[in-house]
């Protein structure tokens, strides 16, 4: 009887031990799962995509400001006072039109003084001519030569003074008025009535209307390669009423400026990782445009070679080149664990939405498009499923 009770107690203890051990390991598993769940909630959340194969059209949208092809600064070199300004900024003027008038009273007084001098030089001419005639009649060679030299000298003085008066008169005509050397648009007026001309800035800045307007863009080389000098280009004008006109490419040349530079006012689609550009110069003519207006050009370069296409948002740029993050899975006792793996790529074309890369080693790998936190190579991640 006593032995039977001992066996029962022994079995009971074993069951209790097994139960406690089971509860312990169960609790341990639950804690592990719970901790993994908590850890997963704190991991960077990422969205992914599978790369596709195809061709990519290279898109470019650029903006720039219109500038006159030719501008000249006009002033009165004499620096005389301004009496009247006859034009305003933005005004269209014809060739030869008077722009500014100047005070020439001092110059006129100088001409009058020179005319008086001319009269005084002419006064002795008659007496010198009479003296020469008398010397000729007297047959005195010495007197005749002296009279002839005196007369010729006086005539030379008169001739020189006449030329001086004529020169001053022609100079007065140039000093009195500032005229447009060509038909154009008044871009700037610095002339002020009552003040002297040429006080540091040109009186008038005039743009040549016949030469037209121009703008330049930094265009990706793969798109520039599809263009040629002389090609027409559709240009959108931004003013009170946006409209499109036709421009013409007048120059294509290499450029050291990146396509995301703001130097020339050009605007590359955000997210475009390409850097190498060509400088594109476009000329256009339109009577309603004066310069200073903003224009936009949309260009598309068709893709030729089949390549790997991924989202542009998935591409990152650093000084050593471009790279993407792919999902790397590692097997563990509680399932797969996902990590971000950094992979270098070579970009062949791109636009705001898609980027073409030369590599073909992705196979079925998932490309990380977006992340809730900045990633590094080897960062553990949590994938979001749509």
CATH number of 44-56+306-383: 2.40.420.20
Contacts of 248 (CB under 8 A, 6+ apart): 230, 231, 232, 233, 282, 283, 284
What pLDDT, on a 0 to 100 scale, did the predictor assign at position 351?
76
Q: Do domains 44-56+306-383 and 60-68+210-298 have the same CATH topology?
A: no
What pLDDT, on a 0 to 100 scale, did the predictor assign at position 261?
39
What pLDDT, on a 0 to 100 scale, did the predictor assign at position 334?
57
Say if residues 100 and 178 touch (Cβ distance below 8 Å). yes
Per residue of the chain (386 residues), what is the pLDDT tens digit?
555 666 666 667 767 677 776 776 666 666 555 555 545 556 889 999 988 888 887 778 899 999 999 999 998 877 788 889 999 998 989 999 999 988 877 777 777 888 888 788 888 878 878 877 777 777 677 777 887 788 788 788 888 888 988 887 777 777 788 899 999 999 999 988 888 887 778 899 999 988 899 999 999 887 888 899 999 999 999 877 789 999 999 999 988 655 543 333 333 443 444 458 899 999 999 888 888 889 999 988 766 667 888 999 999 998 888 999 999 888 766 567 889 999 999 888 777 788 888 876 666 788 999 998 999 898 888 887 65
Tokens linked to 343: 């992979």
Position of tokens 């390549």?
Answer: 307
Strands 45-49 and 382-383: parallel
Pick the CATH number of 60-68+210-298 from 2.60.40, 1.20.272, 2.40.30, 3.30.160: 2.40.30
Beta-sheet strands, E only, within 227-363: 232-238, 243-255, 277-284, 294-301, 307-311, 316-318, 321-332, 335-345, 347-350, 354-357
Terminal Cα distance for the chain, rounded: 68
Residue ranges per structural domain of the chain: 44-56+306-383, 60-68+210-298, 71-205
Tokens linked to 334: 């509680």
- Considering the segment(s) 71-205 as one domain, its CATH architecture is Beta Barrel (2.40)
């Amino acid at each position: 009887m006593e032995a039977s009770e001992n066996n029962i107690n022994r079995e009971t203890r074993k069951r209790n031990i097994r139960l406690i051990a089971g509860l312990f390991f169960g609790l341990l598993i639950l804690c592990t799962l719970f901790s993994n769940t908590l850890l997963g909630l704190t991991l960077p959340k990422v969205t992914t995509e599978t790369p596709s194969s195809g061709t990519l059209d290279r898109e470019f949208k650029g903006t720039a400001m219109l500038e006159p092809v030719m501008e000249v600064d006009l002033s009165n070199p004499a620096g005389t006072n301004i009496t009247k300004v006859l034009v305003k900024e933005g005004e269209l003027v014809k060739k030869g039109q008077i722009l500014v008038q100047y005070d020439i009273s001092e110059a006129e007084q100088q001409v009058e003084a020179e005319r008086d001098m001319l009269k005084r030089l002419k006064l002795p001419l008659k007496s010198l001519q009479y003296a020469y005639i008398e010397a000729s009649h007297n047959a005195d060679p010495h007197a005749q030569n002296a009279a002839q030299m005196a007369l010729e000298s006086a005539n030379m003085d008169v001739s020189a003074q006449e030329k001086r008066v004529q020169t001053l008169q022609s100079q007065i005509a140039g000093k009195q008025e500032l005229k447009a050397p060509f038909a154009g648009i008044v871009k700037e007026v610095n002339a002020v009535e009552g003040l002297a001309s040429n006080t540091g800035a040109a009186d008038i800045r005039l743009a040549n209307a016949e030469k037209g307007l121009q703008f330049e863009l930094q265009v990706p080389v793969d798109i520039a390669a599809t263009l040629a000098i002389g090609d027409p280009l559709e240009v959108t004008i931004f003013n009170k009423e946006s409209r499109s006109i036709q421009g013409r490419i007048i120059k294509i040349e290499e450029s050291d400026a990146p396509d995301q530079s703001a130097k020339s006012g050009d605007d590359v689609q955000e997210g475009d990782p390409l850097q190498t550009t060509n400088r594109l110069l476009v000329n256009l003519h339109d009577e309603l445009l004066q310069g200073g207006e903003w224009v936009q050009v949309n260009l598309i370069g068709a893709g030729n070679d089949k390549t790997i296409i991924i989202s542009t948002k998935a591409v990152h740029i650093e000084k050593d080149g471009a790279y993407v993050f792919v999902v790397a899975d590692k097997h563990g006792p509680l399932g797969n664990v996902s990590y971000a793996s950094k992979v270098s790529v070579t970009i062949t074309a791109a636009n705001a939405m898609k980027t073409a890369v030369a590599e073909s080693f992705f196979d079925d790998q998932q490309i990380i498009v977006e992340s809730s936190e900045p990633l590094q190579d080897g960062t553990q991640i949590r994938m979001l499923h749509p």
